A and B are shown apart, each in its own frame.
Chain A
Amino acid sequence: MAATAVISVNDVHKTFKRRVHALRGVSMRVNEGEVFGLLGPNGAGKSTLVKILMTVIKPTRLQGSILGKPVGHKPTLRHVGYLPEHHRFPKHLRAGEVLDYFASLSGVPRKVRRKRVDEMLELVGMQDWKKQRVGEFSKGMQQRIGIAQALMNDPRILMLDEPTDGVDPVGRREIRDLLIRLRDEGRTIFINSHLLSELEMVCNRVAIMVKGQVSMEGTIDDLTSDSRRYEIVVQDDLPPALEESLGTGVTILESDRSRLVLPNADSLQVQPIIDRLRSGGVIIESVQPVRESLEELFMRAVNSTGEDAATPGAVKGKVAKP
């Protein structure tokens, strides 16, 4: 059975003043219950896309829906929690008041709010700071309160823009564990982040955006399947006579002749190679399956577009009309 899409957008365009094309025909789909990671270099248009979904920015053109309603339908946002990047809470409010205030804006009834304020503060480990003004909090504490705020309305979709920004390693781990917990509860999570290693650990699917367009989209397994390989490391450089007997399916690196690479091989295909090496008197140090990391995939996506990944910013000037 096909998964239900909770977010589905097609051909999203956004052009700001002075002909800055932030989004150039973005299409993507987020399925119910999955953790979806949106990656991309600075200025790729990730935050613009999230802001469009959250009605903070108006699109130039858009076809799409959130929870079955057109994007921009305000009442639907009752079921969406959002943590913006570089968010700033009113400094005069205390932690408990922040949660209460934003939950009331989401239409959460007073009785429910009272209960959830304590629950959410406990969830993010901030229960002892309820009466403290948020203006006195560190960046990491503000981030935790931000996540709690986004969860106050018990959302079906949680949109997090750089959730671990400014958080120390311990805090990051806690946030990651929290996300895994929320994922296991069946909540849909949409994460926008630069921290690829963290996304790799929690995301089911990712999309990589470059210069206002989606360059790749899919599960990490699917996207990295072409790069799957086995690597065998032997003690000394491989003798040339033995190398010929291994066949064409094995690549030996010129720079390191003790390392054998078997592209797209599975465990069964590796066994005869191991046998031949052992019968040839070669000492095997390690045999391991290797897959492209998300960072490598990210760099490949950026380079495949022909854009310079190091150059931030959207496309400026005239673009061909879609």
Chain B
Amino acid sequence: MTAVLAILLDSYRALKAQKLFKTVLGLSVVVILGFASFGFNEQGMTFFFGLLDVESEYIYEGSKWAKTLYLGIFSYFIVSIWLGWAATILALISTSSIFPSFLSEGAVELTMSKPVRRTTMFFTKYLGGLMFVFLQVGLFCVGAFLVVGWRIGEWNATIFLAIPLVTLFFSYLFCVNVFFGVMTRSTLVALLFTVLFWFTTFGIRTADDTLSMVQFRTETLVSMSEKSLEAAEDNLKEYQEELVEIRKQGSDSAKEYYESQLKRGELNLEDEQKSLNERRETLGQLKPWGIVLDVIRWPLPETSRTIGLLSRWVEQDNEVSFDEILSGDWGEEGEGSGDRRPREIATERINELEETVPAFQIIGKSLIFELVILIFAWWIFVRRDY
């Protein structure tokens, strides 16, 4: 236990000694101050600590929209962009050297010759790396918690869920970093491969989401085409019945009109059929690619979905969603519903689908990936000659 605590303490000292640690901390303070500078009064929103006022019918002090907007900014923008991207890149740069430095010639002999098992060393050092993010996000959340409490009067403890979620998200990338760090003993190579891996997973996820979007949109279009086809068939049938009646009565002008309508209806039916066939064909072509991307995506860690869990959990008690505010849909009747385009329907379906993916699946699947990578890294670490 003494050795484990010593390694953790040393990791903390090593991180603290880095200029980047203090830089990230300083930047976090700037982000929190930026967040705090935005607030509400009875007329609407205030910016730059009240220097600029913007009147709003919906968003004002105490309104349900204000609360959702404020928490939404935290979980959608601050956590996703600052903690999920910028701070993570800085954390990766800071922690990439942990294993290569530990295993460098002259340093490794000192530690490996101590009465501590290599497995203990490996996992403690790994936890030491995660400590960087844990501490940074922890301090950040304390700031965010205080700001949210001050601005909307709600002491929302779910904000602290960002600590385990962002640490988890970082751990998916850090395990890759450790694997390459142990394998090559080079900080630069480890960092490059981690960033490459991150961008690859991002690319695959984006491709999969885009394909799903196109697929859902095409499905919506197929469904619309089927309805149109059905309507065209009904119209045609109606015209045919009308024409039979007209022919019996013998009005030439009416007969001519219905015959032209019938002809147009037949052409329309043909077009609709053709369009439907084309869309079905497109759908048929998309489906195998969707399966391929799903298969590729399955073993990869769910980085953005893990971060996305925060917006699910932080928002859960609210009557309105942050998406509704962003889209300008204030929940009034008649607006936002009705004549929607296929793209909007597809977006909504994707969002619904995302909401239905259980948290344990997102985290569990990603942790399996992390475990497998860590086992490979550990295997190299314990068996190697130094």
A154 to B80 CA separation, bound complex (whole angstroms): 52
Q: Report the nearest A residue to B2, measured CB to CB.
A: A104
In the complex, the answer to whether B385 meets A101 with C-beta atoms within 8 Å is no
Checking A16, A105, A110 against B111 with a beta-carbon cut-off of 8 angstroms, the contacting residue is A105
Give the B interface residue count (CB, 8 A): 29
- Given A56-B113, A58-B385, A92-B17: A105 in contact with B3 (beta carbons within 8 A): yes
Bits for A98-139, please: 1 = Cβ < 8 Å to B, else 0. Answer: 000110111111100000000000000000000000000000
Residues of B within 8 A of A54 (CB): 109, 112-113
In the complex, the answer to whether B113 meets A101 with C-beta atoms within 8 Å is no
B122 to chain A, nearest CB (A): 14
Checking A57, A78, A105 against B386 with a beta-carbon cut-off of 8 angstroms, the contacting residue is A57
B210 to chain A, nearest CB (A): 45
The A-contacting residues of B in range 1-45, CB under 8 angstroms, are: 2-3, 5-7, 9-10, 13-14, 16-17
- Given A58-B385, A90-B10, A105-B3: A74 in contact with B116 (beta carbons within 8 A): yes
Q: Report the nearest A residue to B383, measured CB to CB.
A: A58
Q: Report the nearest A residue to B116, measured CB to CB.
A: A105
A187 to B110 CA separation, bound complex (whole angstroms): 21
A65 to B296 CA separation, bound complex (whole angstroms): 51
Assess whether B368 is interfacial by the CB under 8 Å rule. Answer: no
B95 to chain A, nearest CB (A): 14
Assess whether B107 is interfacial by the CB under 8 Å rule. Answer: yes
Assess whether A278 is interfacial by the CB under 8 Å rule. Answer: no
A108 to B386 CA separation, bound complex (whole angstroms): 25
A318 to chain B, nearest CB (A): 21
Assess whether A190 is interfacial by the CB under 8 Å rule. Answer: no
Assess whether B338 is interfacial by the CB under 8 Å rule. Answer: no
The B-contacting residues of A in range 50-108, CB under 8 angstroms, are: 51, 54-58, 74-78, 80, 82, 84, 86-93, 97, 101-102, 104-108
In the complex, the answer to whether B106 meets A101 with C-beta atoms within 8 Å is no
Q: Report the nearest B residue to A57, measured CB to CB.
A: B385
In the complex, the answer to whether B115 meets A88 with C-beta atoms within 8 Å is no
A164 to chain B, nearest CB (A): 17
Q: Report the nearest A residue to B121, measured CB to CB.
A: A105
Checking B108, B114, B117 against A102 with a beta-carbon cut-off of 8 angstroms, the contacting residue is B114
Assess whether B316 is interfacial by the CB under 8 Å rule. Answer: no
A267 to chain B, nearest CB (A): 48
Other A-B contacts than A56-B385, A56-B386, A92-B17, 15 sampled, CB-CB below 8 A, are A74-B116, A76-B115, A77-B114, A80-B113, A84-B110, A84-B113, A87-B106, A87-B107, A87-B109, A88-B105, A88-B107, A89-B107, A91-B17, A101-B6, A102-B110
A55 to B104 CA separation, bound complex (whole angstroms): 16
Residues of A within 8 A of B2 (CB): 104, 107-110
In the complex, the answer to whether B117 meets A93 with C-beta atoms within 8 Å is no
B235 to chain A, nearest CB (A): 80
16 pairs of residues in contact across A and B, judged by CB atoms under 8 Å: A56-B109, A56-B386, A57-B385, A74-B115, A74-B117, A75-B115, A77-B115, A82-B109, A84-B113, A87-B106, A87-B107, A90-B14, A93-B10, A104-B3, A104-B5, A105-B3
Give the A interface residue count (CB, 8 A): 34
In the complex, the answer to whether B6 meets A105 with C-beta atoms within 8 Å is yes
Interface residues of B (CB under 8 A from A): 2-3, 5-7, 9-10, 13-14, 16-17, 101, 104-117, 383, 385-386
Residues of B within 8 A of A105 (CB): 3, 6-7, 111, 114-116
A92 to B13 CA separation, bound complex (whole angstroms): 7
Residues of B within 8 A of A89 (CB): 107, 110
A108 to B115 CA separation, bound complex (whole angstroms): 11
Residues of A within 8 A of B109 (CB): 51, 54, 56, 82, 84, 87
B385 to chain A, nearest CB (A): 4
Checking A80, A87, A91 against B110 with a beta-carbon cut-off of 8 angstroms, the contacting residue is A87
A86 to B16 CA separation, bound complex (whole angstroms): 26
A76 to B111 CA separation, bound complex (whole angstroms): 15
A109 to chain B, nearest CB (A): 7
- Given A86-B105, A107-B2: A55 in contact with B10 (beta carbons within 8 A): no
In the complex, the answer to whether A107 meets B115 with C-beta atoms within 8 Å is yes
A107 to B13 CA separation, bound complex (whole angstroms): 20
Checking B3, B7, B16, B113 against A55 with a beta-carbon cut-off of 8 angstroms, the contacting residue is B113
A59 to chain B, nearest CB (A): 10
Q: Report the nearest A residue to B104, measured CB to CB.
A: A88
Checking A16, A77, A97, A108 against B13 with a beta-carbon cut-off of 8 angstroms, the contacting residue is A97
A101 to B106 CA separation, bound complex (whole angstroms): 16
Residues of B within 8 A of A82 (CB): 109-110, 113
Q: Report the nearest B residue to A59, measured CB to CB.
A: B385
In the complex, the answer to whether A88 meets B106 with C-beta atoms within 8 Å is yes
A16 to chain B, nearest CB (A): 7
Residues of A within 8 A of B104 (CB): 88
Q: Can you list the 6 inter-chain pairs with the closest CB atoms, starting with the nearest?
A: A92-B17, A88-B106, A104-B6, A84-B109, A54-B113, A105-B114
B352 to chain A, nearest CB (A): 50
In the complex, the answer to whether A55 meets B112 with C-beta atoms within 8 Å is yes
Residues of A within 8 A of B114 (CB): 77, 102, 105-106
A296 to chain B, nearest CB (A): 32
Q: Report the nearest A residue to B382, measured CB to CB.
A: A58
Q: Report the nearest B residue to A47, measured CB to CB.
A: B109
In the complex, the answer to whether B115 meets A78 with C-beta atoms within 8 Å is yes
B118 to chain A, nearest CB (A): 9
In the complex, the answer to whether B108 meets A56 with C-beta atoms within 8 Å is yes
Q: Report the nearest B residue to A82, measured CB to CB.
A: B113
Q: Report the nearest A residue to B385, measured CB to CB.
A: A57
Which residue, of A58, A91, A92, A105, has the highest number of chain B Cβ atoms within 10 A?
A: A105
In the complex, the answer to whether A106 meets B115 with C-beta atoms within 8 Å is yes
Which residue, of B3, B107, B117, B385, has the highest number of chain A Cβ atoms within 10 A?
A: B385
In the complex, the answer to whether A90 meets B385 with C-beta atoms within 8 Å is no
